Structures are given as C-alpha cells and as structure tokens.
Amino acid sequence: MEGKKQYTFKEKLSNFLYYYKWHLIIGAFLLFLVGDWIHSIVTTVHPDYQVGVITEYALPQEASDAIQSTLEAQARDLNGDGKIVVKLRAYTTGTEGNMYNPMEVALLADLSTQENYFLITDDPEGLQAQYQVLANPDGSSPAEDDFSVEDKVYPVSELLGLDDPLYDQLYVGRRHFAEPEEVDHYEDYSALWDQLIAAMQK
C-alpha cells in the first residue's frame, strides 16, 4: 500500500489559491470597503455651524478664510468633538447666460433641509425677493408680503469687524424657520447672532 503523497508548501498554496482565489479577492475587496468607510467616519470633520454664501461669483479664498476664522473665534463647540468648525457653503449664482444653474438647485435643497442658519450675500434684496428667507430682527418669520431687508442684514465689515472694501459689498443675515424648535442647536445659533449684534453696537 502506497503512502499518502506529501505536498510541498508551494503545492498546498497553489491548490488553496486554485479553489479559493475568488473568495479571497471578494473578501479583500469587502475589507477595503469597510476600512474606507471607517476611515471616512473617523476623519470627517463635522461643522458646528454652516454659513451659506450666496454671491454672483465665488469669494477669494482669503476672504472666505477671514470670515470663517472670525466666526470660529466667537463660536462654540456644539457637537462636542473638541473642535470649533464653521463651514462656508458657497452658492455662486452667476450663470453667464445659462438658464440652468446647479448651484441654485443646491441652495434650494439646503434651504429646504435647514442646512444654513447664517446667510452671506452680495444681493440681499434679490435673495429676499426670490426666497423670502431672511428673518426679522428678533429671528421671527417675516409677514407673507414682507420682502424687505431693512434691519434683517448688516454689512459683513460691520458685523464681523473685517476691514476691506470687499466686505462692504457683502451682507450677512440669519434665516428664519417656520418651526425653530425642530432645528438642531437653534438656541446656540441665535446666541451667536445676538453676540455678534451686541459687539457691533458697542
């Protein structure tokens, strides 16, 4: 009776790969997806505040950085991650003759999901006429026929104390919500707005 054949390590490995190659490939791919998903969760920075910037053309990066850092210096860590992060979400409305502007679609979507509390714009009258999104001085919703911007917006240069002619052309206001109690951190957002107003009026 012949003895059982002894396979070398190389032969065993070759045989294993022959039968389980696709199992290993699929398993490795799934492991990569899980690892990438975990990495994205761990490394993604979640902002404490989001500010909508609705302008005809994109702001210079230096201006965006100055607005962001000024707000962060006075804001609070709302999500408890140990960081204070203010995110500027830009919506450029200049279409250059095109009737369809995906940024305006994105703005409508974000307004409907209550993504932005603060709004910065170079055309407050146009913004209010089209969306009626700016709140009254006390944060309440304007009347249905009230499309004015008086006392609803302030020059960025005044409210944030930024000294550059560019900021004189930008205005900041807060948006109104029909049901503010359903907005996460609404009281914190309002407190920051009141703090900015108080500092400006000193």
Render each residue's pLDDT in the chain as its tens digit; 202 residues: 455 666 676 666 677 667 777 877 787 788 777 776 665 545 555 899 999 999 999 999 999 999 999 999 999 999 998 999 999 999 988 755 455 567 778 888 888 877 889 999 999 999 999 999 999 999 999 999 999 999 999 999 999 999 889 999 999 999 999 888 888 899 999 999 999 999 998 7
Those residues with Cβ within 8 angstroms of residue 71's Cβ, 6 or more apart along the chain or in another chain: 49, 51, 86, 118, 160, 192
- Cα separation, 171 vs 152, in Å, equals 10
Residues near 35 by beta carbon (within 8 Å), at least 6 away in sequence? none
Cα 125 vs. chain centroid, distance in angstroms?
24
Q: According to DSSP H, which parts of 80-201 are helical? A: 102-112, 124-131, 156-159, 165-168, 186-200
Q: What is the pLDDT of residue 184?
A: 87
The one-letter amino acid at 77? D
Spatial strand order of the sheet with 171-174 comes to 86-92, 49-55, 118-121, 171-174, 153-155
**How far is CA 38 from each of CA 30, 41, 83, 120, 153, rounded to the nearest angstrom?**
12, 5, 20, 34, 41
- Contact at 8 Å (CB) between 109 and 80? no
